[in-house]
Amino acid sequence: MNLVLDELTAALPEAGSTCSLENYLALPDHTMDERISRARAKLGATTLLLGHHYQRDEVIRFADATGDSYKLSRIAAETPAKYIVFCGVHFMAESADVLGCPGQQVILPDLNAGCSMADMAEISQVEACWEALEGLGLADEIIPLTYMNSTAAIKAFCGERGGLVCTSSNAHAAFEWAFERGKRILFLPDQHLGRNTGYAMGIPLDEMVVWDPWAIQIGQSQGGQTEQSIAASRILLWKGHCAVHQRFLPSHVDAVRTRYPGIQVIVHPECRFEVCQKADALGSTERLIALVEQAPSGTTFAVGTEIHLVNRMARRFASEGKKVITLDDTGCLCTTMYRISPHHLAWVLENLVEGRIVNRIQVRPSVKRWAKVALDRMLEVG
C-alpha cells in the first residue's frame, strides 16, 4: 500500500510500553473479546467504532454502526464523538478525518489495511492525465469524479477542479450532477463502476474509453487513446478495479443458474460489465442487503460481493426462509480489510483508555480543504 507519509501519521507508544502491538499479537484470538468490551465500556460516548460490511465478524460485532462507505461517511460527518475508530481501510479513515469536526481524531487499527483499487490511481499519474487533457484543449469541458475508494489526494484533485466524490450508492446521481456541468467525465479509479453506471444511463459502450496510466511505459501517450477517441467519448474510465469483485465471471452466473433454477443473481456494480449484464439486479452493499430484506420467504440469492458480507447475510436471513450463497463457491475476501484483527482493535482501544492515541490518521490541511469540498458535494447529491 502506498501511504503518503505527510498525509498519514501514526502516534506510536513509547519503546517498552506494555501496550505495544507485539504483546497483543502473541495472544490467542479469543482472549481479546473481554478486553475489547471492557475498553469500550470505559471509553463510553467519547469513542465511536465504525465497521464496514466487509470487515470480519470477530471485529464488526463490536461496532457501534455498520454500513457501506457512503453510510459510514455520513455517520462520521455527524458524530459528536471525540474519537472515531474506523474498522475499514485507510481511504475510509481519511474521509472520516476530512469530514470530522475540529478536535476529533480518527484511528485506523492497522495501517496496513489499505485498498488495492485506491492504489491504482496515484496522484502524479492523475495530474499527468489532466495535463494531457489540457494539452488537447479538453480539460475545460471535463468534470473529474472519483469513487470513494481513492486517496484523499485524489479526492482533493477532483474537488479543486469542480468535481466530487461518489459511492456505489449515489454514482448515478453524481454522474447526472457532472453532466449538468460538463460535456464528459473523467472517472477514477474503478472502470467497472463507471462503465456500469454510464451504460445504465444510456451511454453506449463506444462512448466510454479506458485511460491506461501505464500506457506511457510502452510508448503510448494519452492513456493509450487517440485524440479522436477521447474527443468522441463521454466518459473517460481510469484503468482500475476491485480485486474482489473482478474475480466474478459470466461463467459463474451461468453455473449458478444451472445449479439453482430460478435463483436471483444480485451483484455489486464493481463487477465486470459482462457479469452485471447477466445479473438480475445491481447494488451497493446496502442495496444488496435491502434486496434480500424485501424478498419473499423462499427466495434464493447468489450474491456477487465480498464473502464476509455474503456469509453474514446467509446467517441473518436463514430464519426468514431465504437462502443466500456466494456467486463463486471459492469466495473472495477483502484481504486488506481482513488485516484488522481483534488484537489490533483491543490494542488501539486500550491505548485510548490509557490516554495514548495510536495509528491516528491525519490528512494534510491543504489536501483536506479540497477533499472536503468534494466529499461535501457527495453528501449534498445524496
pLDDT class for 319, splitting at 50, 70, 90? Answer: very high
Q: Report the share of the chain in percent with pLDDT over 70.
A: 94
Quote the cell numbers at residue 305.
460481493
Contacts of 220 (CB under 8 A, 6+ apart): 212
Q: Structural domains in the chain?
A: 21-112+336-370 (3.40.50.10800), 118-242 (3.40.50.10800), 245-326 (3.40.50.10800)
pLDDT class for 339, splitting at 50, 70, 90? Answer: confident
**pLDDT, tens only, 202-233:** 999 999 999 999 987 666 778 899 999 999 99
What long-range pairs does 96-100 form, CB within 8 A, spacing at least 24? 96/50, 96/72, 96/361, 97/152, 97/361, 97/362, 97/363, 97/368, 98/152, 98/155, 98/363, 98/368, 98/371, 98/372, 98/375, 99/73, 99/372, 99/375, 99/376, 100/76
**pLDDT, tens only, 274-292:** 999 999 999 999 999 999 9
| pLDDT at residue number 62 | 95
| pLDDT at residue number 71 | 86
Query: How does the average pLDDT of the chain come out, rounded?
Result: 90
Mean pLDDT computed over 153-166:
96
**pLDDT, tens only, 61-75:** 999 999 888 888 889
Q: How far is residue 116's CA from residue 8's CA, in Å, rounded to a whole number?
A: 17
Give yes or no for residue 5 having a pLDDT over 90.
Answer: no
Q: Among 2-11, 87-96, 122-131, 212-221, where is mean pLDDT lowest?
A: 2-11
Mean pLDDT computed over 258-267:
97
Mean pLDDT computed over 142-153:
96
| pLDDT at residue number 25 | 85
Comparing CA positions, the residue from 289, 278, 221, 301 lying closest to residue 67 is: 289
| pLDDT at residue number 218 | 67
